[in-house]
Amino acid sequence: MNNITRTQAIGVIAGREDKDQAVGVPNIDSYYGEDVFSVDVMKEYLPKDVAQHLIATIEDGDPINPAIAADVAHAMKQWAIARGATHFTHWFQPLTGSTAEKHDSFLEPQGMQAIMRFSGKNLITSEPDASSFPSGGLRCTFEARGYTVWDPTSPAFIKRHPNGATLCIPTAYCAYTGEALDKKTPLLRSRQALKKAVTRLMKCFGLDEQKVTITLGAEQEYFLIDKSFFLNRPDIIQTGRTLFGASPAKHQQLEDHYFGSIKPRVLAFMTDVEKALWKLGIPAKTRHNEVAPAQFELAPLFEEVNLAVDHNMLVMEVLRQQANKHDFVCLLHEKPFSGVNGSGKHNNWSINYGNMNLLEPGSDPFQNAIFMTVLVSIMEAVDTHADLLRSTVTGAGNDHRLGANEAPPAIISIFLGDMLTAVIDELEANGSGCSCRKETMKLGVDVLPPLPKDTTDRNRTSPFAFTGNKFEFRAPGSSHSCAGPMMILNTIVADAMNGLSDKIEQFSSDVDFNDQLHELLRERIITHKRVIFNGDNYSAEWKEEAEHRGLPILSNTPSALAEFKSAKNIALLEKYGVLSAKEVESRYEVFMEEYSRKIRIEAEISLELARTVFLPAIRKEYNQALTALTHTPSDAAWVGSLKSNVGTLGACLQNLIEESNKLESDLDENNDMYQVFLQMQSVRECVDKAEKWVTDSEWPLPKYREMLFIY
Ligand code: ADP
Ligand code: MG
């Protein structure tokens, strides 16, 4: 496959058949969640009291009693073996951004007798060693012990493969000293902090303690290209994106792909993806074509945040696997193709208190006072910690996307919509002591006007938008884990809520509660309303305006990551026990290192392809043009045109050689990675220009118009 030409690849693709399995597909309800150690399974496999205890841990966050571990482990083993599992693994999320697993079989033979064992200890903790995962200096290799610890709040599940199955136990991963080495641990800590803060704030409103659930619905964008093209593109194989490729005449200008009818071959793939997800109890809900050609989206129904984060990791894995089965490759990179939209992962986030969605404007004055208080706390959180929020969506891939006129900009602001902004303005205008205008709103007395939930009202350019009953954080990249952004969002909102609770708890009992609350929110609105922006986030004027407002503009990974470890942000993360200063520092190291390494890899493969793949093709074209010129009588009318053709190709050669040499020396001298990145772009420009001149059949790699349109 690897040595087939572009044209042959197209032939292969033309001959592909849709792997459609629509015939005889069983009803969803017959297999939904069948590979999950769910509450129903627990009830079936566990003694009643043990099941009750475990369910209380999962649903109400009660601490787990280690004494039940043996029973749970036994039940899990029985259930998993009945489903064909031979192995178990602690499934965790190291700082690489992907998931990790190390399988052990249940087998503990006695003589020639195969005994299948899985103990309580096996369930609760494991020591996978795993010394090669990045720790940012938290571990030295000689004491590289890393531990995984069972997270009972995310159910165990079974991963199938053609020859069997593995029982996967979601776990947190930490060092011998207890420091977090993964993405889950701080997420769980932040969840705890926000739950506490919400409970406290609701108490200020006189509400009884209820269960707090933080919810996340993660929309996932991705590209599909045919495997035959993929195998012909060393840049995609090595970096996940095209490092070269001229824009085709038609790309996304006509916007005819967005929400278009889905090609049968893609639909067959999507059907298999959904089936695999539904078996895992992942509520895949929406599927559609996205704006760029060959770009698609999958959105599940929202779930509890920790579960949703785990599920999104599985969504990405299933997309890749099923793509392979359908002779596609699923590209989760934030910017696989330049000149067309990149891919994001919209994090829809909200908070439930009992049955009440705190971000759902209510129908009576009391509920609206709560809604406005929560809204203002989020406003305060995002304004105070815009830099920290921005630092969670960094990465070499997402740098291409943020601010590239297709995705939210690198400036964090909030979209509230005209009506809600008007409400905020009214609250601000209606200060106590002012001669209240009649039309202004009075908190706890008036009812909010009905807010539109219609999608047409949404501002798609905003990085952080209120969408009727939730906020949608749109800056995370398609390949990111949601854990980082969610961890920070939970923490900053917890802090802002606690700040409000501090004040509310001190309210005087002699003055009307609503009047005091009104004044408090008003003061916060005045301080933080600069973060609200309902206009076009892509416009150049916004950048100027944001600068004027003093909002942080962190346009790339190094500048944004530097903020992650500012004194203010470390103090906040330490205050809530989400990350210690040492953990922040280590994460900073890991993420910066990853950024530099990724750019270096891209630069090295750019250089190699420039010299060994593109240069020879351009040289050949040049030689042919030169030969044509030497065979042309010097008095021919077209000799001038031929000369100019030779000149163009010669200049292409010259530029490519020079720019490549410059890239090599930048790499050798270990120059600033941003410099290397820019030089890589210069090399690319030479190649992309040549692509428009070299004989089509001689162009060595699949072109954009092929990868994006032939599938
Ligand atoms: P759009 O593309 O218009 O933003 P989608 O339907 O594609 O809308 O995605 C919306 C996402 O928001 C879904 O995952 C949905 O389940 C999720 N969502 C809806 N309500 C909430 C909520 N209260 N909390 C978190 N996520 C929510
Ligand atoms: Mg959306």
**Residue 177 confidence class, pLDDT cut points 50, 70, 90:** confident
Pairing of strands 164-175, 157-161: antiparallel
CB under 8 Å, gap of 24 or more: what pairs does 620-628 form?
620/698, 621/649, 621/690, 621/693, 621/694, 621/695, 621/698, 622/646, 622/649, 622/650, 622/652, 622/653, 624/695, 625/649
Tracing tokens 């962190």 back to the chain, one arrives at 554
How far apart (Å, rounded) are the C-alpha atoms in residues 186 and 180? 7
27 ligand 1 Cβ < 6 A? no
Q: Which ligand is nearest to the CA of 302?
A: 1
3-state secondary structure of 325: helix
How far apart (Å, rounded) are the C-alpha atoms in residues 618 and 605? 18
Rounded distance from Cα 300 to ligand 1 centre (Å): 8
Rounded distance from Cα 572 to ligand 2 centre (Å): 29
Q: Which of 190-204, 340-354, 435-449, 523-537 is predicted with the least confidence, judged by mean pLDDT?
A: 435-449
Query: Which atom of ligand 1 approaches the CA of 297 most closely?
Result: 7
Query: Which atom of ligand 1 approaches the CA of 346 most closely?
Result: 4
455 ligand 1 Cβ < 6 A? yes
Residue 138 near residue 586 (C-beta atoms within 8 A): yes
pLDDT of residue 404: 74
pLDDT of residue 22: 56
78 ligand 1 Cβ < 6 A? no
What is the torsional sign of CA 116, 118, 119, 121?
Answer: positive
470 ligand 1 Cβ < 6 A? yes
What is the torsional sign of CA 366, 368, 369, 371?
Answer: positive
Residue 346 near residue 470 (C-beta atoms within 8 A): no
Read out DSSP for 120-132? HHHHHEE----TT
CA dihedral 647, 649, 655, 657 (to 10 degrees): -120
466 ligand 1 Cβ < 6 A? no
Q: Going by CA atoms, what residue is nearest to atom 14 of ligand 1?
A: 217
Average pLDDT over residues 190-213: 97
Pocket test for ligand 1, best of 302, 315, 486 (most atoms within 8 A of CB): 302
259 ligand 1 Cβ < 6 A? no
Centroid of chain to Cα 235: 22
Alpha-helical runs (H) found in 109-249: 120-124, 184-204, 227-231, 234-239
25 ligand 1 Cβ < 6 A? no
Query: Which atom of ligand 1 approaches the CA of 360 most closely?
Result: 23
213 ligand 1 Cβ < 6 A? no
- Please give the angle made by the CA atoms of 555, 556 and 562, to the nearest 5 degrees: 105
Share above pLDDT 70 across residues of the chain, in percent, rounded to a whole number = 95
Average pLDDT over the chain reads: 92
Pairing of strands 464-466, 414-415: parallel
Rounded distance from Cα 469 to ligand 2 centre (Å): 13
- Please say if the pLDDT value at position 444 is more than 80: no
Pocket test for ligand 1, best of 219, 352, 471 (most atoms within 8 A of CB): 219
pLDDT of residue 34: 96
Rounded distance from Cα 297 to ligand 1 centre (Å): 13
pLDDT of residue 445: 75
pLDDT of residue 20: 61
- Please say if the pLDDT value at position 59 is more than 90: no
304 ligand 1 Cβ < 6 A? no
Phi/psi region, residue 589 (left: phi>0; alpha: psi -120 to 50; beta: rest), is: alpha
Average pLDDT over residues 555-571: 96
Q: What are phi and psi for residue 92, nearest 5 degrees? A: -140, 175
CA dihedral 479, 482, 484, 485 (to 10 degrees): 110
**Residue 434 confidence class, pLDDT cut points 50, 70, 90:** very low
473 ligand 1 Cβ < 6 A? no
Give the residue with greater pLDDT, 224 vs 96: 224
**Residue 646 confidence class, pLDDT cut points 50, 70, 90:** very high
Q: Going by CA atoms, what residue is nearest to atom 2 of ligand 1?
A: 219
Print burial letters for 111-138: b (CB count within 10 Å at least 16), e (below 16): eeeeeeebebebbbebebebeebbbbeb
Q: Which ligand is nearest to the CA of 297?
A: 1
pLDDT of residue 447: 75
pLDDT of residue 19: 66
CA dihedral 683, 688, 234, 613 (to 10 degrees): -80
**Residue 144 confidence class, pLDDT cut points 50, 70, 90:** low
User: Who contacts 168 (Cβ-Cβ below 8 Å, separation ≥6)?
Assistant: 88, 89, 91, 101, 156, 157, 158, 159
CA distances (Å), origin 11, targets 5, 7, 226, 261 = 10, 6, 12, 24
Q: Which ligand is nearest to the CA of 299?
A: 1
660 ligand 1 Cβ < 6 A? no
Average pLDDT over residues 67-89: 96
Rounded distance from Cα 456 to ligand 1 centre (Å): 15
Query: Which atom of ligand 1 approaches the CA of 217 most closely?
Result: 14
Set out the domains of the chain in order of their start, with CATH numbers. Answer: 31-182 (3.10.20.70), 191-244+254-579 (3.30.590.10), 596-707 (1.20.120.1560)
**Residue 246 confidence class, pLDDT cut points 50, 70, 90:** very high
Read off the DSSP letter of residue 485: H
Alpha-helical runs (H) found in 345-430: 365-384, 386-391, 418-429
Share above pLDDT 90 across residues of the chain, in percent, rounded to a whole number = 80
Q: Which of 217-231, 401-415, 679-693 is predicted with the least confidence, judged by mean pLDDT?
A: 401-415
How far apart (Å, rounded) are the C-alpha atoms in residues 149 and 180? 11
- Please say if the pLDDT value at position 451 is more than 90: no
pLDDT in tens, 396-419: 999 999 977 677 789 999 999 988
Read off the DSSP letter of residue 337: S
Give the residue with greater pLDDT, 60 vs 184: 184
299 ligand 1 Cβ < 6 A? yes
pLDDT of residue 17: 79
Alpha-helical runs (H) found in 31-138: 39-45, 48-60, 69-82, 120-124
Average pLDDT over residues 240-267: 91
pLDDT of residue 469: 93
How far apart (Å, rounded) are the C-alpha atoms in residues 628 and 631? 5
How far apart (Å, rounded) are the C-alpha atoms in residues 149 and 357? 31
469 ligand 1 Cβ < 6 A? yes
671 ligand 1 Cβ < 6 A? no
Rounded distance from Cα 464 to ligand 2 centre (Å): 11
pLDDT in tens, 286-315: 999 999 999 999 999 999 999 999 999 999
Rounded distance from Cα 327 to ligand 2 centre (Å): 28
- pTM for the predicted model, two decimal places: 0.95
